Structures are given as C-alpha cells and as structure tokens.
Structure 1
Amino acid sequence: MDEAADPVPGQTDPATAQTERVVGQASLLDLDEATREALTSAVAAVADEAVETIMVEVPSYTGAFSGKMGQTIRRAVQLALANFLSMAARGEDPAVPIAKSTAAAYDLGRGEARSGRSVDALLAAYRIGARVSWRHFSEVAVACDVPAATVGRFAELVFAYIDELSAASVAGHGDETATTGRVRERYLERLATLLIQGEDQPALEAAAEQAAWQPPESLTAVLLPQRHVAAVLSHLGPHTLHVSAELPDVDDDDLSVLLVPAGAGPDRVRLTRLLDQRQAVLGPARPWAEARLSYERAVRARLLHHTAQVLDTESHLAELVLTADPRALADLRAAALRPLAGLKPGPRERLEETLRSWLLHHGRRDQVAADLHVHPQTVRYRMGQVREAFGDTLDDPAAVLDLTIALALEPTPRPTPESG
C-alpha cells in the first residue's frame, strides 16, 4: 500500500477520524443479549440476500459470485456483518472488529481491481449491502422491542460502518490499480527492449503475453529526443511501445525509441506529420517481431547528418545503401577517380562536380549547365578535360557504374553561381 501523506499538524487524519466516529457510535449502542443473538442468527440470510441483490442490480457482478470465488465473497460478507455485530457486544473494544473488517475490505478492493471491476461498481455493491443489511437488522430490532432511540443509533452505526468499509476498499482498489499499472509498464518496456535487441520470436511472444500486449502486424521504429516523447505519445495509440534507457548502438543518452504500430500509406504520412519539428528519425515498417530491423535502419540514418526536422528513412534509401560501408565507398571513390588524382584540389573538385552532374543528367549539356549554374560552353570545356583524363573509360558501362556510385553523394556544398 502506498505511503499516505503526513497529516497536517493539529489535524486528525480523515481515515482515523472516520474510525473514531464509528467507535464512538458503537460505544453508545446498548443491545441486550437476546437482541444480539437474534441479529447474529440473521447474518447468513442477510449476506445471501445482499449477494443476490448485488448480482441483480450491478451488471458487472453478474456471475461473479459463482464457484470458489463466490463462496469466498459470501464468507467475506458474513464476516463483515459478524464483525459489525461484535462492535455492539459489551466488554469488547469496538476498534478491534473494525480493524479486522477494514483490513478485509482493503484486500477485497485489491481483488476487485484485479478482476477488472470499477470503483463505481464496488461502491454500488456497498450501498446495496447497507440497504439490505439495515432492512433485516431493523426488522429484528423492532421485533425485539429495541427502543426507538437505540434503533436510531443502530442505523447511524450501520451506515457509518459501511462508509468505513467502502473507504478501505476504495483505497485497496486504488493501490492495486496503481501497482498493476506500474508492473505492466515495466513489462511493456521490457518487451520493447527485447524487440530492439532482436530476440527470437518465441521469447517475444512470451513477453507480449506477459505484458497483455496484442501484437500488431507491423511496427515502425522512431528515434527522437526525450523532451518530445510525452507530446508524441499523447497522440499515439496504447499499443505504442517506448524505451528511453541504454539503447543498443546509440551513444546519446537523450535519445528514446518508440515502436509504433504504423505501416505505409496514410499511417506513415500521419506519423511523419506528427513528428515534424521534433528532430525525429523514422525507420521502415517491419513485421512486429522484426522491429529490430526498423530500429537498426533508423540508427544508421542518424549518421547521414541531415538537418531535416524529421528524417524518413524511406526517402533516403540510396544514401543509406551508399553509406552502409563507408570504407568501401572511400576505396571505390579513390579507384574510380584515380585519373583526376594528379590535379590540384580546386580543378579536381570542379571536374568531379561536372562529371557527377553529367552522369546524373545523362550527358544533357544544358541541364548540366543549369544544375551547376554555369554556361553550357563551360560544361563542354570541362567535359573535354574529363574525357582527356579518363579516355575510353567513360564508354565502359562498368566504369560508368563505379563513377556514378562514387559521385552519388556530394562531398562538398554546391558552389555559388559563376559566370562561366
């Protein structure tokens, strides 16, 4: 049970004050032995009617009292009623049976939370129990010629006692709900961790079952800074998983990963819009048990050093392929561009840039000129130098492929326009 806040100095804790009121009312009640015996003999019938009435009037309790569970609840109701009558027994401290009853009511509240029933249903059951109990007990009291003043105090005690039990059950229900929520959150985070670690499917299925998480068809990994997680999660469904600590292959402690049940098409468009301006990296949609693949691609995409507020890896597949092995790309670039290696840096960069544009625009001189912001004659002159350096190599499809890959990524920013 969670720790309660310290009471304000000079004030009585509300729960303690309620118990004291019940004890005080019980001490004023004076029932003779015959009346107490008559009331005690009615406990079983009162409990049975209370249970039957609750099942009829509170839909969520329909069928809840059958079998072993039903017998347990019936015994708990009888115990509560018996403890109530013990408060009226002379020579016994009323606080003792109250403590027993509130402890049982607290446990009942926790059990009801585990069964999925709401606090409203629980309180409705208590109100019905109070109504049925008072009807039976008042009939017995009147039949035993209990004075009207005593009957009035008896009524006050019945409803004060029910309030005490209700409060204890609500506390138990709340504590169980909070505890269950925290436990499930830990299970969900463990599941998300196993997914991005690439555990095998049987282990993932077991973790999903433990977390009461129904796997979707696909998951999309999203990397984003911690400060944006709460805002994004508030717009996503309850099936979204979240990990914020010790991400594999990530050295940024401020980074979190979300695993979102979103695929292609409209789902991805909506997700991309939600992530805009949040420095997020969006991996591809993959079957839920293969979420590790989406996560790995998102992690690699961070190395592209894009300035976009949301980086969708599906829009940068060529860059991801080309940067998959940076050393191999560097070796390919050095080998393919060896004919220009002897030039000074400035002329070499201009010819590499011109060759890159020439390859991408399939040799269309005007388009190359527009791309480079130079005169078409400048393009013709530069390409003459390139052909002189490469010779017949530019007519070899394999060599052209190597050059295209080697020059696919711009190593330097595009120059400012020049006159030619």
Structure 2
Amino acid sequence: MSDALPDVRAFRLSPEVVAPLKMRLPDVALRTIDAIMTEVPAYAVPFAGDLGPKIERAVRAALGTFLELVSRADGPEPQSPLGPALEGAYALGRGEARNGRSLDALLGAYRVGARVSWHELAAISVSSGQPAATIAHFAELVFAYIDELSAASVAGHADQLASSGRARIRDLEQLAQALLGGEPEHVVRAAAERADWSPPRTLTAVLVPEHAARTVVDLLDPRTLQLSEVLLVPDVDGGSRAAVLGLLRGQRAVVGPARPWLQAKASYDRALRTADLIEPAAARTVVDTDDHLAELVLTADPQALADLRARVLAPLTPGADPKLVETLRSWLRHQGRREDVAAELFIHPQTVRYRMTRLRELYGDRLRDPEWTSALIIALTVI
C-alpha cells in the first residue's frame, strides 16, 4: 500500500468484484456498528437507544455509497455519489461541535469502521475468488474513502466552531451595548441569556485604547465584556481592584467604580466624566476615579461652578491685583495662619497682613461668614 492514498473518485472495480459485497452489505454494516459500540464508548449509548436504527441506516448508506462510487460506469455524470456522503460527514462534524464535543470520538469511529468494514469486505472478496492484487487495491480505496469522510467532518467541525464563536462575540457585544445604553432590566437579562453569560455581582467600566483592550482583556475575568474602548470587568472590588489597577499599569486607562452589574452604565458614566476632567500627566497613566471624588462632586454642574465664582469673586474687581487672589486662596487653605501663608507664597508676614487688610476692605464681614468662606474655598481651589 503506497504512502499517499488514491483519489477514490478516480478508481473503478468490476461488477464481478462488487456484486457479492453488495449482497452482504447489511451484515457488514451490523458488524461495523458492533465494533464501533465496543471500541468507541462515546457512541455506545446513541447506538443502543432510539438513534440506533437511524445510525445503522447511516452506516449502511455510507458503505453503499462507497460501493456505488467504485463500481459506477465511466463517463460524465451530473453528480458523483460521493457528494451526499461528504455532505453527511460535514453535517456530522458540525453536529459534534454544536453539542460541545471534540472530533476524537467521531474520527475514532471512522477508523474503527474502516478497519472492520475492510476486514469483512476483504473476507467476502477472498471467498469469491478475487486475486490478492485486487483485494489490496480495494483496501486502498476503502481507506481513501474514509479519509475523504474524515476530512469533511473536520471541515464541518471547524466551520461550526468559527460560526458559533462569531455569533457569541456578537451576542456579547450586544449585551455590552444594552448595559452601557441603560436598557431596561428585562432587555439586559434577555441579552445575557442569549449570550450564555453568567452575571457577576458587580461590573466596573474601564476605558482603555482599543489596541490595548485586546491585550488586557485576556488577563481579566473571562466574563469581561468589551465594546471598542470600554471593558466591563466583573467583581473589581476590594483586593481585586488593586490587582486590576496593577494589570493596567503602563496603559492609559480610566477605571470607574464597581456597581451592581445591571447598573454598569453608572460606572461607565463616572469613568467618562473623570476622563474629561482629569488629563493624565503622562501618556501611560492609570486614573482611578475613586481618587478624584472631590473634583467630580464639585464639578458636577460646571455652569453652577462658574456662577458661584462670578458671585463670590465679585468684590474683586476685574482690575484687582492677582496677588490678592493668590493670597486669599492661601489664607483660606491655611485657615488664616499668617506664617503658613507667608511661607507658601515666599513673602514677608507683614505683606500677608497688608494684603488681607485690603481684602477685608473689599469683602467686609463676609470673610467671617462660614457660608461665604466655604463658597470662596470652592471657587478658588477647584480646578
């Protein structure tokens, strides 16, 4: 037998060789099935159950197709008998993938089937007086046929896995869109079920450049959802938050707060606001929104902050000395401690006293009013 298997489509056997094989085909099919049940345990239950008769017919059809293929007359034909057999093998491969099984059992069944059917068919050929050369040639054709079926099943299995993978990626992206879009709970839960995704306790939004997201996502919880430059990472709280921040080190990223998974949009919104508010000092800086809560609170309404500044800084005329504003900010920060103000501004304490006298002339008793001083602190210290 040569190393390379022949093309089973190109060979013919005489009717005298094939006729006795066709007569004994049912017996050969039964012996083949018995051997597969014994040697490939994964198929024992399906063969013994309700599927048994269907599988028996399928095995008999495969053997019949082979005999039809190698004994058909030469000349043009609309379709080779091999076509339906290959389609069936392809479908078997897809079915194994859909059921979450590898091809080990199916390919094992093919190997057992090839060996047993060849043994049985060869015995029939010998008993009918066929020469050794014909029987050897027949063996090549049997194994070439099984090789064709195996290749078709491998292709079907691979195509199903690729198709299923693409479908699940699409379902997971739609789930992420539903969460970030703030869809109603029943819509989000339906999307999670469709994607076969097990909800965590919380989700944390992480903003990171898309090229980096593709790298980082493989290091995170397998349930992490990705939509372009947004990652939704499960259960990032406590010690796990520090771990995630560590994984992101070296990337430009903004990490939102952990929120109940159905409220992931709140984490995303916080991360977006922080990204707008905080410009990282370096290109590769991780920003934790928990570190910027004060700025977020105080800048929640930018127009209100502008109005507040206009109101409380009104006593300082547009032409007022900028040093007065600088001194007022330091005085508020140090709660009126003149020496500390002087040290911060690198000026003499007497200069601080002079400037504060001028500010008291402008503000009057309002510098003693707690509400006014609080407003001034916000107006002068918020970035």
Q: Which amino acid aligns with 1:350?
A: K
Q: Does the 8 Å CA contact 1:284/1:297 hold for their aligned counterparts?
A: yes
Structure 1 runs (4+) greater than 6 angstroms displaced: 92-95
Bigger Cα displacement from structure 2, 379-388 vs 100-109: 379-388
Question: Using the alignment, how far apart are the partners of 2:341 and 2:48 within structure 1?
Answer: 82
Structure 1 residues 335 and 85, CA gap change in structure 2 (3 angstroms) = same
* Structure 1 residue 285 displacement after superposition: 1.1
Q: Which amino acid aligns with 2:192?
A: A
Does structure 1 residue 208 correspond to structure 2 residue 192? Answer: yes
* Structure 1 residue 327 displacement after superposition: 0.4
> What is the SS of the residue equivalent to 1:339?
coil
The match for 2:84 is 100
Bigger Cα displacement from structure 2, 300-309 vs 327-336: 300-309
* Structure 1 residue 361 displacement after superposition: 3.0
Does structure 1 residue 153 correspond to structure 2 residue 137? Answer: yes
Q: Does the 8 Å CA contact 1:49/1:132 hold for their aligned counterparts?
A: no
The match for 1:23 is 9
The match for 1:84 is 66
Q: Which amino acid aligns with 2:248?
A: L
Structure 1 residues 213 and 54, CA gap change in structure 2 (3 angstroms) = farther
User: What TM-score does the superposition give when structure 2 sets the normalisation length?
Assistant: 0.87
The match for 2:106 is 122
The match for 2:326 is 353
* Structure 1 residue 174 displacement after superposition: 0.9
Does structure 1 residue 394 correspond to structure 2 residue 367? Answer: yes
Question: Using the alignment, how far apart are the partners of 1:296 and 1:154 within structure 2?
Answer: 71
> What is the SS of the residue equivalent to 1:222?
strand
* Structure 1 residue 137 displacement after superposition: 2.7
Residue pairs, 1:7-406, within 5 angstroms:
21-25=7-11, 27-28=12-13, 31-32=16-17, 34-53=19-38, 55-56=40-41, 59=42, 61=43, 63=45, 65=47, 72-89=54-71, 91=73, 96-244=80-228, 256-308=229-281, 309-340=285-316, 342=317, 344-345=319-320, 347=321, 349-406=322-379
* Structure 1 residue 170 displacement after superposition: 0.6
Structure 1 residues 31 and 159, CA gap change in structure 2 (3 angstroms) = farther
Question: Using the alignment, how far apart are the partners of 1:363 and 1:145 within structure 2?
Answer: 117
Q: Cα deviations across residues 103-147 of structure 1 (Å, max 9, x unaligned)?
A: 111111111111111133432232222223223333333344433
Q: Which amino acid aligns with 2:213?
A: V
* Structure 1 residue 72 displacement after superposition: 4.5
Query: Once superposed, what is the RMSD of the aligned Cα atoms?
Result: 2.7
Structure 1 residues without counterparts, runs of 5 or longer? 1-16, 245-255, 411-420
Structure 1 residues 226 and 353, CA gap change in structure 2 (3 angstroms) = same
* Structure 1 residue 169 displacement after superposition: 0.6
Q: Cα deviations across residues 212-249 of structure 1 (Å, max 9, x unaligned)?
A: 111111111112223322222232233111112xxxxx
* Structure 1 residue 375 displacement after superposition: 4.2
Question: Using the alignment, how far apart are the partners of 1:235 and 1:68 within structure 2?
Answer: 45
> What is the SS of the residue equivalent to 1:42?
helix
> What is the SS of the residue equivalent to 1:281?
strand
Structure 1 residues 62 and 289, CA gap change in structure 2 (3 angstroms) = farther
Structure 1 residues 386 and 166, CA gap change in structure 2 (3 angstroms) = same
Structure 2 residues without counterparts, runs of 5 or longer? none
* Structure 1 residue 314 displacement after superposition: 1.0
Question: Using the alignment, how far apart are the partners of 1:124 and 1:368 within structure 2?
Answer: 85
Question: Using the alignment, how far apart are the partners of 1:183 and 1:385 within structure 2?
Answer: 71
The match for 1:252 is none
Q: Cα deviations across residues 272-313 of structure 1 (Å, max 9, x unaligned)?
A: 233334322221111111111011111111221412422211
User: What TM-score does the superposition give when structure 1 sets the normalisation length?
Assistant: 0.80
